[in-house]
Amino acid sequence: MKLFVDTGDIEEVKKAASWGVIDGVTTNPTLIAKSGKGFKETVLAICDAVPGGDISAEVVATDYDTMLKEALEVSSWHEQVVVKVPLIEPGISLVKTLADKGIRTNVTLVFTVGQALLAAKAGATYISNFVGRVDDLTLDGMEAVRDTVNMVETYGYSSEVLVASVRHPLHVLEAIKAGGHVATMPLKVIEALFKHPLTDSGLERFLSDWNKAGLSIG
């Protein structure tokens, strides 16, 4: 599974990148606004922090012509940039146009397998199925992920299912069980993946016994 960090904060990106297990970064207009910095400077800094990683940068227009102009602009910034496009009618047309030009896309705000089918048929590189926002409605957000993975594999679409709106490590476990190709999540969720009390207590015991024996390496 590819692991992306979902943030516009370059310091968070640098921390996640330091572990050597991050495959990319997803941003969105809200995350960029929170960064307090310019869009292009933030995206370029993220590209530098995650060499070779796919960096999603979202268009903000909602009409085809302006979306296309924005998409060509952001994709020109860096070869790592993946154009993020909301699943609206002009957005699907844009994804098709960009796919025909060899420009990679991440279709976002996807909540149903029907929406995912449109994205896959348009040639989306990534399909971002949102989970947490559906769970917030006391519904099973992971259901559409399972159905989308099944759909992509059944019909042989090239799109990768990107599990998004991830709130906690259990979402990561469920995304793995669903066969999601990518999971994107806030830094705090990745940090939580490291944690287990038995790991902490086990290491404490190892080091205590080692030190009591007066041992050293070298």
What residues act catalytically? 84
42 binds ligand G3P (CB under 6 A): no
- Rounded to 10°, the helix 169-178/187-194 angle is 90
Kindly tell me which of 65 and 140 has the beta carbon lying closer to ligand G3P. Answer: 140
What is the Cα–Cα distance from 178 to 151, expressed in whole angstroms?
12
E strand map for the chain? 2-6, 24-26, 54-58, 81-86, 105-110, 126-130, 160-164, 182-185
14: contact with ligand G3P by CB under 6 A: no
Binding-site member from 80, 106, 159, 184 for ligand G3P (CB under 6 A): 184
Specify the residue, 33 or 203, whose C-beta has the smaller distance to ligand G3P.
33
Residue 26 binds ligand G3P, judged by CB under 6 A: yes
Identified binder of ligand G3P from the candidate list 6, 12, 54, 174, rule CB under 6 A: 6
> CB 183 → ligand G3P: shortest distance, Å?
9
CB 107 within 8 A of CB 90: no
Tokens standing for residue 39: 């869009």
Find out whether 107 and 96 touch, Cβ atoms under 8 Å: no
In the bound complex, what is the minimum distance in angstroms from residue 109's beta carbon to ligand G3P? Answer: 8
d(CA 179, CA 181): 6
Say how far apart CA 17 and CA 117 lie, in whole Å: 32
Cβ 217 to ligand G3P, closest distance in Å?
43
Taken in order 110, 154, 161, 145, the sign of the CA dihedral is: positive
Contacts to ligand G3P from residues 148-177, by CB under 6 A: 164-165
Contact stretch for ligand G3P (CB under 6 A) within 94-102, 130-138, 150-158, 196-204 = 130-138
Q: Which helix (H) or strand (E) holds 198?
A: helix 197-212
Interface with ligand G3P (CB under 6 A), residue from 12, 16, 28, 144: 28
Q: Which C-beta is closer to ligand G3P: that of 148 or that of 154?
A: 148
Which of the ranges 32-40, 47-55, 61-69, 127-135 carries the binding residues for ligand G3P, by CB under 6 A? 127-135
Paired with 130 in beta bridges are 164
Contact positions with ligand G3P (CB under 6 A) in 68-87: none
Q: Which residues bind ligand G3P (CB under 6 A)?
A: 6, 26, 28, 130, 132-133, 164-165, 184
